[in-house]
Structure 1
Amino acid sequence: MAGERAAIEVDGLGVRFRLGRRGRRSFKDLFAGSSRRNRPGEFWALRNVSFRVQHGEAIGVVGRNGQGKSTLLKLVAGVMLADEGHVSVHGGVAPLIELTGGFVGDLTVRENVKLTAGLHGMSRAEVAERYDEIIDFAELGKFQDTPYKHLSNGMKVRLAFSVVSQLEEPILLVDEVLAVGDKGFRDKCYQRIDELLADGRTLFFVSHNEKDLRRFCTRGLYLDRGGLVLDASIEDVLDRYNADNG
């Protein structure tokens, strides 16, 4: 549609960390102003990164470990603030990242589904309507009244993916979550993401798995040393990435 804003707009993005124990800058540093940039002991995780993601696009983000991919995903998710530039996200996000965060160990599976889905914006009526589907997808029908802390790691991931993938938000943020679980569960995850993409969702996908990137994505972003090296088709991006990294 003419004039429609992009799903994700990133302009001149920069994020820096302080090397050593303190990590990000202190409040004192924040109030010191931009004149103190590039001081010794600071590291730019991202710098001068700009791109647009249109509604309905499937974007794969590639790069070696430590090159800014997960930092970029957290900025898009709104859980981290930029030091330079800005990120604009037009539409709600379903964050398939750090999946098991937010669950409460002493609460049962049933209670955690209601709590977590509610925190992600589902109404009580929506949770009640989708509860059985969430439990069936996670294959936890026999464990609904079991405290979350007694679940295996695989069960926890299945439950988290099942809850978040039920959200109707138009933008999916995915960070390596398809690398976990057994083959049967991964196949279910693949099918679920296929369904969401067919429904017109936007995908922003960080992964090292070329097979997954080629399956889901049509366009790629290649990050290296905190900068955007290439924004092109996923095939061209993977070819360049592999050529650069042997």
Structure 2
Amino acid sequence: MSVSIKSEHEIELMRHAGHLLEQVHDELASHIKPGISTKELDRIGEDMIRSMGCIPNFKNYQGFPASFCISLNDEVVHGIPSRQKIIQEGDLVKIDAGLIYKGYHSDAARTYAVGEVSPEAKQLMEVTKQSFFEGIKFAKAGNHLNDVSKAIGAYAAKFNYGIVRDLVGHGIGTHLHEDPQIPNFPQKRRGIKLMPGMTLAIEPMINLGRADVAWEDDEWTVVTMDGSLSAHYENTILITDGEPEILTLTK
């Protein structure tokens, strides 16, 4: 396994890629309303990325047909935007997005509640987001990768949620997916030692029910096996000499 350490110049480019992606998420959030199709959200987001002089890194990645993964309710990740998928009151909408700025990738996901959602859905969203922050408390130079995985899993497990095991976070840089893989649950091994200059995409995917997932016929959309709701939260982070820096979240 070869985990890349970024130079100061590379970090600056990744920082900028992250800040631009944050702006895209903020803009898309304002368009998530009942009646809009996931295809329309994808178009708005892609237009914005291209207007910044960037490239949507998901488009055509291993054949993925859109610029954003937009997943609803029991869809965990990798939902393909469609004119037929119309967002409705009470939906949980997961938007996973990334862009390339001057050859460097950023990647971040958010879960949005459309109007009033159930208390269970609200808690699932909050716990998924907080599990990310519990994990990155350990994303410090000298710690091991499993310290992060363990903390994410331990927090989500307190709520008896299903922690998705078939999909994991990843390193990121000049490629969207780099070493190492970053599970959201404890491993038998400690994993790599974290070092300043590593850039990682950490992304808890948590189900209200069981952890089991399945792939739909389109071979992309991942759904919960038991039909329960799922939430997703992701940021690109930088390992530093002190606290980690979240490149896709500045406020």
TM-score, scaled to structure 1: 0.32
Richer in helix (by share): 1
Structure number with higher relative contact order (C-alpha < 8 Å, ≥ 6 residues apart):
1
TM-score, scaled to structure 2: 0.32
